[in-house]
Amino acid sequence: MTTRPTKPRAPRSTPEPLGPSDYLKKILTARVYDVAVESALEPARHLSRRLHNKVLLKREDQQPVFSFKLRGAYNKMAHLSEQQLKKGVICASAGNHAQGVALGAHKLGTRSVIVMPTTTPQVKVDAVRSFGGEVVLHGDSYSDAYTHALLLQKKHGLTFVHPFDDPDVIAGQGTIAMEILRQLQSLGSDKLDAVFVAIGGGGLISGVANYIKAVRPEIKVIGVQTVDSDAMLRSVTAGERVTLNDVGLFADGTAVKLVGEETFRIASGLVDEFVVVDTDAVCAAIKDVFVDTRSIVEPSGAMAVAAMKQYVATHKTKGETYAAILCGANMNFDRLRFVAERALVGEEREALFAVTIPEERGSFKRFLESFDGLPGGPRNITEFNYRIGDAAVAHVFVGVTTQGPGESAKIAGHFRKRGFEALDLTHDDLAQEHIRHMVGGHSPLANDERLLRFVFPERPGALLKFLNLMRPGWNISLFHYRNQGADYGRILVGLQVPPKDDKAFAKFLDTLGYPYVEETHNPVYRLFLKS
């Protein structure tokens, strides 16, 4: 018996792209648990009640480096040859990936060189060094650091560990989806309608999407980007990779100008929807996560929750089950003040107004009394800024608590009905970010002005008590107050008190009983506020 010789096949110029079944095998055999833990999948009870849907939080903030990044980094390094490990690895990163590579390399006993921009916060530099990473600071941006890392790679024969555009890295991140589907069983139901995933370069969503579409294709995979770092959405829309000129740095963990080739291919085929969120929504989501977990995630770590809230509001869903991946918690401490400020805006729990009132005795008190009739019941004043500047009218910057979206217009209408001209500043970025801090300055009308810092109890009626005890002839020429979340309020007040009333003014302060410090002779006051 003879057989006909077969013609040998020509080798393929490019390998066949990996599909979900290929990635499924890679994920199931991924090596991540030498360094990573199986993070919890926890019900978010407060969020679930508010959204009328079951919300589950995948707690990647529980990882040793407080981020999911070590999964992919370690899986990549664990698949390197012995010779490659002897030479060492290198990466460019300003944050979470850097820590993952450093920890993974330490576990494998290999050298790790981490190139970071010179602008990297010291806390992150120290974190990388604590895991044994050799930190090289170079350039002002990630791009500068990346270029320098490639030069060092060639010079020293190191293996480059890419933060997202690598099948082994993608497979490592995909273990998160494997855990989610397994953990559903322990929560009493395997029902899951959608998973929300933050996107930077696309490594995380690529791993998650491949596993879910291979095992549970009916579950939606929803990608999340910020309005100023939406490279993946633009690329998928255009049908090719799009490079952004600039990216927003608030959610620095997902601030990527160009997504990966492999991650773009996967996202184009497997991601069901994209949701774009803004900074205020992310800040509100950080607060939501804190309420449910008592943990503070970084902006990128809260993006999935912000998108989930937006998705529910848009689609009016009820009774569904959603999972949000809290992908990181490497929060810069100095951002917390900004987050707390903007969370109120994101939730629309605060309305801001510019209100014009007559510059006459008793008008300040009449304006405050108008708050009793606000629609929806009494509200707390969150901010009150005023400086005398006109003989006829006074312009007051005031913040008021709200109970939900859309109330600011109603409150502004209420003020107008009471005879006070009101401009709604709730969604005015100039007012939010700058003007609120600039109300004041020199005034030629502030004669006989005395400046005092008071500590008021943070309770209703504290300000009215102050006004009721004042003499009618004393005029308020300056007022600055901002609620800081404490049980007391720090208030700066300017009062026009004639010298002949000094004794009466001392009696007033004694009767009031609020702690105070007089700042009339403070040089800062004289430089910036005293005419």
DSSP states of 226-265 as a string?
Answer: ETTB-HHHHHHHHTS----S---STTGGG--SS--HHHHH
Domain membership of residue 486 as a residue range: 348-528
The dihedrals phi and psi of 214, each to the nearest 5 degrees, come to -80, -30
Q: What residues contact 25, with CB distance under 8 A and at least 6 apart?
A: none
Q: What residues contact 314, with CB distance under 8 A and at least 6 apart?
A: none
Domain boundary residue, one of 321, 341, 361 = 341
Q: How many structural domains are present in the chain?
A: 3
48 and 192 share a domain?
A: yes
CA nearest neighbour of 231 among 251, 210, 215, 211: 251
Query: Considering the domain boundaries, does residue 8 fall inside one?
Result: no
Strand partners, 42: 57
Count Cα atoms within 13 angstroms, Cβ side, for 502.
3
Q: What residues contact 368, with CB distance under 8 A and at least 6 apart?
A: 381, 463, 464, 467
Measure the CA–CA gap between 195 and 218, rounded to whole angstroms. Answer: 11
pLDDT score at 486: 66
pLDDT score at 4: 42
329 and 477 share a domain?
A: no
Domain boundary residue, one of 131, 164, 197 = 164
pLDDT score at 14: 58
Query: Considering the domain boundaries, does residue 254 fall inside one?
Result: yes
Measure the CA–CA gap between 326 and 293, rounded to whole angstroms. Answer: 11
Phi and psi based region of residue 74 (left: phi greater than 0; alpha: psi -120 to 50; beta: remaining): alpha
**Listing from the earlier edge strand, what are the strands of the sheet with 516-518?**
421-424, 350-358, 393-401, 381-387, 475-482, 488-496, 449-457, 516-518
CA 1 to the chain's CA centroid: 74
Read off the CATH number of the domain in which 122 is found: 3.40.50.1100
Measure the CA–CA gap between 467 and 37, rounded to whole angstroms. Answer: 58
303 and 363 share a domain?
A: no
366 and 220 share a domain?
A: no
CA nearest neighbour of 236 among 221, 219, 253: 221
Query: Considering the domain boundaries, does residue 285 fall inside one?
Result: yes
Helix (H) or strand (E) holding 99: helix 96-108
366 and 471 share a domain?
A: yes
Outline where DSSP puts E strands in 270-418.
273-277, 321-326, 350-358, 381-387, 393-401
Q: What residues contact 514, with CB distance under 8 A and at least 6 apart?
A: 454, 455, 456, 457, 462, 466
pLDDT score at 2: 40
CA nearest neighbour of 108 among 136, 142, 73, 138: 73
User: Which stretches of the chain drop beneath a pLDDT of 50?
Assistant: 1-8, 10-12
Q: What residues contact 285, with CB distance under 8 A and at least 6 apart?
A: 277, 302, 303, 305, 306, 309, 346
pTM for the model stands at 0.83
pLDDT digits (tens, 9 = 90+) for 277-322: 999 999 999 999 999 999 999 999 999 999 999 999 999 999 999 9
Q: Are 346 and 282 in contact (CB under 8 A)?
A: yes
Q: Are 397 and 383 in contact (CB under 8 A)?
A: yes
Query: Considering the domain boundaries, does residue 222 fall inside one?
Result: yes
Strand partners, 387: 478
CA distances from 195 to 57, 199, 272, 423 (A): 10, 13, 10, 41
User: Residue 173 corresponds to which amino acid?
Assistant: Q
152 and 194 share a domain?
A: no
Contacts for 469-474: CB closer than 8 Å, 24+ residues apart: 469/508, 469/511, 469/512, 470/495, 470/508, 471/501, 471/504, 471/508, 472/361, 472/362, 473/361, 473/498, 473/501, 474/501, 474/505
Query: Considering the domain boundaries, does residue 313 fall inside one?
Result: yes
Query: Considering the domain boundaries, does residue 181 fall inside one?
Result: yes
Query: Considering the domain boundaries, does residue 15 fall inside one?
Result: no
Domain boundary residue, one of 341, 375, 403 = 341
145 and 192 share a domain?
A: no
202 and 269 share a domain?
A: yes
152 and 192 share a domain?
A: no
Q: Are 98 and 121 in contact (CB under 8 A)?
A: no
User: Residue 335 corresponds to which amino acid?
Assistant: R
Measure the CA–CA gap between 16 and 384, rounded to whole angstroms. Answer: 64
Query: Considering the domain boundaries, does residue 7 fall inside one?
Result: no
156 and 217 share a domain?
A: no
Contacts for 461-470: CB closer than 8 Å, 24+ residues apart: 462/489, 462/514, 463/368, 463/381, 464/365, 464/368, 464/369, 465/512, 466/512, 466/514, 467/364, 467/365, 467/368, 468/365, 469/508, 469/511, 469/512, 470/495, 470/508
pLDDT score at 247: 86
132 and 187 share a domain?
A: no
354 and 416 share a domain?
A: yes
